[in-house]
């Protein structure tokens, strides 16, 4: 195996890109934080971080600075990264003044330069849901967290499992009672 491939495989085995598995849900006018973290953290300021949605460039960071020349018009002056937290692995995207047009699937692409060239590490996906029915304070910022209804679904599943266990116990008890019943057939 050549040295470049070994170095790339080692990096992939050691580093990954992660975030919340829950969609980010906000109302129009709010700010959204789309989570993305490098695990374990490594210094990304000399690397490249690119956020996209449906092929559109949302935000690009490279050579220790934002590079927004090719940024899609819809996202102009509304995106930022937490540059002071990049050394801790935080490459989350902040999208301000969210509109319903912003809803969709976003991808966080992380690339790093090694002595052999450019090597893509990982791609992480996060979904942004813009709930038009919720109009709240535009200064409120929400990020990926609990999805409405998840707790209800969990409770329903637990109740169904308990009912099944009770039915099994009742059937087993009746069958056991039948087997050990003191009544026997006597011939006369």
Extents of the domains making up the chain: 3-145
Give yes or no for residue 146 having a pLDDT over 50.
Answer: no
- At the fourth CATH level, the homologous superfamily of domain 3-145 is Immunoglobulins (2.60.40.10)
Give yes or no for residue 96 having a pLDDT over 60.
Answer: yes
> Rounded distance, CA 8 to CA 27, Å?
41
More confident residue, 10 or 95: 95
Q: Is residue 70 within 8 Å of residue 51, measured between CB atoms?
A: no
Name, in order, each residue with C-beta under 8 angstroms of 43's C-beta and a sequence gap of 6 or more. 86, 87
**DSSP assignment of 109-162, as one string?**
EEEEEETTEEEEEEEEEEEEEE-TT----TT-EEES-PPTTHHHHHHHHHHHHH
pLDDT the model gives residue 135: 46
Residue pLDDT, tens place only, 36-75: 888 766 666 557 889 999 889 999 998 888 889 999 999 9
Give yes or no for residue 119 having a pLDDT over 50.
Answer: yes
Question: Counting Cβ atoms within 10 Å, is residue 137 exposed (0-12), middle (13-18) or buried (19+)?
Answer: exposed
Residue pLDDT, tens place only, 12-32: 434 555 556 788 999 999 999
Q: Is residue 63 within 8 Å of residue 111, measured between CB atoms?
A: no
The DSSP bridge pattern shows strands 31-34 and 141-143 to be: parallel
Question: Counting Cβ atoms within 10 Å, is residue 144 exposed (0-12), middle (13-18) or buried (19+)?
Answer: buried
pLDDT the model gives residue 92: 92
pTM above 0.75, yes or no: no
Closest CA to 43 of 113, 95, 118, 93: 113
């Amino acid at each position: 195996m050549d040295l470049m491939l070994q170095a790339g495989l080692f990096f992939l085995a050691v580093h990954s890109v992660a975030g919340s598995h829950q969609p980010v849900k906000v109302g129009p006018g709010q700010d959204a934080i789309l989570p993305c973290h490098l695990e374990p953290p490594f210094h990304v300021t000399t690397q490249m971080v690119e956020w996209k949605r449906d092929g559109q460039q949302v935000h690009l960071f490279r050579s220790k600075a934002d590079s927004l020349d090719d940024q899609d018009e819809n996202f102009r002056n509304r995106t930022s990264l937490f540059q002071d937290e990049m050394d801790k692995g935080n490459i989350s995207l902040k999208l301000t003044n969210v509109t319903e047009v912003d809803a969709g699937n976003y991808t966080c692409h992380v690339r790093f330069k090694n002595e052999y060239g450019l090597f893509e590490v990982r791609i992480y996906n996060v979904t942004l849901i813009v709930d038009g029915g919720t109009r709240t304070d535009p200064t409120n910022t929400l990020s990926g967290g609990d999805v409405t209804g998840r707790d209800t679904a969990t409770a329903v599943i637990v109740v169904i499992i308990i009912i099944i266990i009770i039915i099994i116990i009742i059937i087993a008890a009746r069958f056991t009672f039948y087997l050990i019943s003191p009544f026997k057939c006597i011939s006369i």
